[in-house]
Amino acid sequence: MFSPDHPLIVQGDGSILLDAHHAKAEEARQALAPYAEIVSAPEHVHTYRLSAISVWNALAMGRDGSDVKIDVGRFARYGLPQNVAADIDAWVSRHGKVALVPGPDPEHLRLDVTEPALAQEILRTPSASKWLTIYDDGSLVVDAMHRGDVKWALIRLGYPVEDRAGYGTAEPLSFRVRDGEGFEVRAYQHACVDAFLAAGGGGGGHGVVVLPCGAGKTLVGIVAAQRVGASTLVLATSEAAVEQWARELRERTDLPADAIGTYTARRKDVRPITIATYSVLTLRRGKEFPHLALFRARPFGLIVYDEVHLLPAPVFRMTASLQSVRRLGLTATLLREDGKEEDVFALIGPKRYDVPWKTLERSGHIATATCHEVRVPLDPDARARYADAEPSHRFRIAAEAPSKDAVVRRILDEHPTRPALVLGVYLDQLKRLAEEIGAPLITGETPTATRDALYAKFRAGEVRCLVLSRVGSFAIDLPTASLAIEVSGSFGSRQEEAQRLGRVLRPKEEAARFVTIVARDTVEQDTALRRQRFLVEQGYRYEIEDLQTGPTS
């Protein structure tokens, strides 16, 4: 049925086009958002895509399966294509057909399957059946240690497992969040924790919260730990992130100092709340992960996975054996460059709460930001080396282009009062820039004490600019930063682009400014388009300044 006053066009491949200027665009966007992932959001037409994972995430957040076609279809100009409607029905029907529930004893769980034919399909699938035992009464039983392995195998078979098996016992932990004492837990942060704890068996507690960079994901994790009331392990991306979590816990709770431990390459304290790096827990000796003894020594009741979209594969494998613990993933995007979002769904849990970036910008909870791309030509020497290089080497030659240096100096001169971060990945380039602009350089090799001292001086306004390697792509607490200049990146990583913008999104009076400098007519210019795609999807626009043709947008 043709309805010309409707703003959506649903296509047969599952993609959905939204007329951004339509009078019903915002209403349609609100209806569509729970069920579809946004693909792109330029000025005029926004593109979404329906998938099994996006629909299952909606169902996990409490949406009724019968509402999917209604909510999407009521704004569709040409109605729902028959095959799309059939796909939605199939995805909805597969949700809730398989569940893990408490088993015959504490060491085992039962896999409940609603249809005998599906049970036979599972038993004939080696990747799933190898974890299962058939008891005399016909029930399917899995060793509790392989709870995650079964969930992982079944989602690949096309059936998400509803985990109602509950959680193991853990050491209790009681503390208070100092809400109202210099800060307030925001309504959406409480809503994140409510949604997380409402999910799953045994009191709830497995899944992912998606919030923009700068929106206070750390505080969400702290409030979740307080409400779970059990010993907690936080996994973070770096030692700097570990120290940030420890500082936030000390400042925002009444926990005594000896209740907070850090577990890194330098120090290994296991306390009621322990913050560890992913790298130390994935340290491998032969086939063993020796630091898993950490979990045996103290049975944690909650694991918080910071920046969950960056989880390395070994942590996924470890997570498969830690399913008896409540699991909270925190991220700005569930996007993974390897396309394995289903791994996050199966092993950490489905998405429980999501707030769009622009929603929090409009409410003032993150800073308004402008994004700019400056395209610079390669100088003759770099152009010659680029032309002669193997294709695999050309990206670095372009990324390290010396012609970028003058642009960095110009931008800093144009914004003399802004606290600024210069971000890159290649150390030779960053050392050269740090020397030219007279700014401290922080890399992974910078001693922790030196790094912390420089961060403190930056926060206090004693240092105006820092040059950061990859350490600037992850969680660092520099709330005063309002200018970020990206001189090189990790190929087409959309995650990294989002993280780097996040460094300047703490609320502030003036709009934050994010500038990326790329070598024009090179492979770097091509990858810049991919890097920027995630932010464009969130509603940000890049103004383009081509040093040979002038600014465009």
Q: Are residues 218 and 302 in the same domain?
A: yes
**What pLDDT, in 10s, does the model give residues 100-131?**
999 988 889 999 999 999 999 999 999 999 99
Q: Is residue 469 part of a domain?
A: yes
Q: How far is CA 140 from CA 32, 101, 123, 396, in A?
A: 37, 11, 9, 53
pLDDT at 226: 97
Q: Which one, of 245, 311, 242, 237, lies nearest residue 471 by Cα?
A: 237
Q: First-to-last CA distance in the chain?
A: 38
**What pLDDT, in 10s, does the model give residues 308-365?**
877 767 777 677 677 778 999 999 887 666 667 778 888 888 888 888 888 889 889 9
pLDDT at 185: 95
pLDDT at 29: 83
pLDDT at 202: 55
Q: Is residue 2 part of a domain?
A: no
Q: Are residues 344 and 377 in the same domain?
A: no
Residue 487's pLDDT band (cuts 50, 70, 90)? very high
Q: Tokens for 273? A: 């709340």
Q: Is residue 1 part of a domain?
A: no
pLDDT at 33: 80
Q: Which residues does residue 401 pair with via DSSP β-bridges, in sequence order?
A: none
Share of the chain above pLDDT 90, in %: 52
Q: Are residues 70 and 107 in the same domain?
A: no
Structural domain count, the chain = 4
Q: What residues make up the domain containing 258?
A: 187-360
Q: Are residues 234 and 343 in the same domain?
A: yes
Q: Are residues 28 and 64 in the same domain?
A: yes
pLDDT at 83: 94
Q: How confident is the model over 493-520, as a mean pLDDT?
A: 89
Q: Are residues 334 and 430 in the same domain?
A: no
Report the mean per-residue pLDDT for the chain. Answer: 88
Which one of 312, 329, 360 terminates a domain?
A: 360
Residue 504's pLDDT band (cuts 50, 70, 90)? very high
Instruction: For tokens 């944690």, name the residue.
Output: 300
**What pLDDT, in 10s, does the model give residues 284-307?**
788 777 787 777 777 889 999 998
**R_g of the chain computed on alpha carbons:** 25
Q: Are residues 308 and 431 in the same domain?
A: no
pLDDT at 225: 97
Q: Which one, of 95, 108, 94, 93, lies nearest residue 140 by Cα?
A: 108
Q: Is residue 178 part of a domain?
A: no
Q: Tokens for 21? A: 């200027």
Q: Which amino acid is at 245?
A: W
- Of 266-275, 332-341, 426-435, the poorest mean pLDDT is in 332-341
Whether residue 553 is predicted with pLDDT greater than 60 in this model: the reply is no
Which carries the bigger pLDDT value, residue 6 or residue 472? 6
pLDDT at 347: 84
pLDDT at 129: 94
Whether residue 266 is predicted with pLDDT greater than 70 in this model: the reply is yes
Instruction: For tokens 């560890």, name the residue.
Output: 276
Q: Which residues does residue 208 pair with via DSSP β-bridges, in sequence order?
A: 329, 351
How far apart are alpha carbons 488 and 423 in whole angstroms?
Answer: 7
Q: Are residues 328 and 347 in the same domain?
A: yes
Q: How confident is the model over 60-74, as a mean pLDDT?
A: 84
Q: How confident is the model over 379-396, as a mean pLDDT?
A: 93
Query: Could you say which DSSP state residue 461 is in?
Result: T
Q: Is residue 168 part of a domain?
A: no
pLDDT at 541: 82
Q: Is residue 181 part of a domain?
A: no
Q: Is residue 105 part of a domain?
A: yes
Q: Tokens for 198? A: 């409402």
Q: Are residues 252 and 350 in the same domain?
A: yes
Q: Are residues 142 and 55 in the same domain?
A: no
Q: Is residue 87 part of a domain?
A: yes
Residue 457's pLDDT band (cuts 50, 70, 90)? very high
Q: Are residues 404 and 327 in the same domain?
A: no
Q: How confident is the model over 464-487, as a mean pLDDT?
A: 88
Which one of 57, 74, 94 terminates a domain?
A: 94
Q: How far is CA 277 from CA 77, 168, 237, 388, 518, in A?
A: 49, 24, 6, 41, 32
Length in residues, the chain: 553
- Of 44-48, 177-181, 224-228, 522-526, the poorest mean pLDDT is in 44-48
pLDDT at 214: 86
pTM: 0.85
Which one of 317, 333, 360 terminates a domain?
A: 360
How far apart are alpha carbons 261 and 506 in whole angstroms?
Answer: 27
Q: Are residues 197 and 237 in the same domain?
A: yes
Could you tell me the CATH number of the domain that includes residue 323? 3.40.50.300
- Of 18-27, 342-351, 426-435, the poorest mean pLDDT is in 342-351
